[in-house]
Chains A and B, each alone.
Chain A
């Protein structure tokens, strides 16, 4: 198993390299640059700035310079947020995004799996219809609708919770953004769990457990739910990566200093290094969580073996 993990991690290096290369040249293809303003700068100043950021060199040289710095863990200076390096920005923003996304993920998993399993066990009753109906609603309403509505109602109208801001991560500030992030995930996980549980309940080995008169908590808890969890686990890989690397919508609407905003801000401002940094961080999270999922799979399902 350890050998497998090491091999997978080694395999991640070329993957990241390819992503970096494609992202590097793609962002450079976009018209405009980081220092283009509505009123053009004096050419002499422009030249100085370009020299300072190595933007005057041929593209291939810039590419190798970037790779060289990257190998040392240096993601370069941010072009639009002077005095900050991209690493600095992540160092302050990433923990915020992880705290926010991690809380949302944990809540979504617990609540979603519970509701999904409950609906499956009460299939075709009002409980089932409620869960499925609410889940469908949860999937169809986009976060950019949920977020302002929650903020308006609980923050502005009722005044129960802060309408926005981070407040150093105190729980009052977490509630609304976490709810916004978690709601659609609860809906998806509930639907997934419900389907998988229904299938597991119909499977032959659950029939065996029932035929042997095992109490229903054993039939369901031991034999059906463990099988039902497998598809949920594989869904969690990319989802965890997406949630932990921050949400543009939620961070923008609630004014949260995470890294989710950087992707859009960086792209719009042609902040090349910031965009590249975001791409790399997201890629690493995706690779890491897919690996974690694969390992979890092997733990949960003895038929899966990597050697």
Chain B
């Protein structure tokens, strides 16, 4: 921040530029929040998902249960999404 302040004072950056870069930073943060949580959910769901498909192939009745187990890690990306939306709006 000190650098930005000196840069503004020195006339190298205008206030508009600083505001624009702040918006960009926010967007970047939101992207990281959604992106990284999405990857995390994906990694967590791969193992559960493949096991779930196997179990369903053996016994169709477990479909409801394995669906529950498969979507448990989705919570992570939901939190990421909420964080991103809070950052942006």
Q: Do A and B bind each other?
A: no
Measured CB to CB, the residues of A under 8 A from B are none
Measured CB to CB, the residues of B under 8 A from A are none
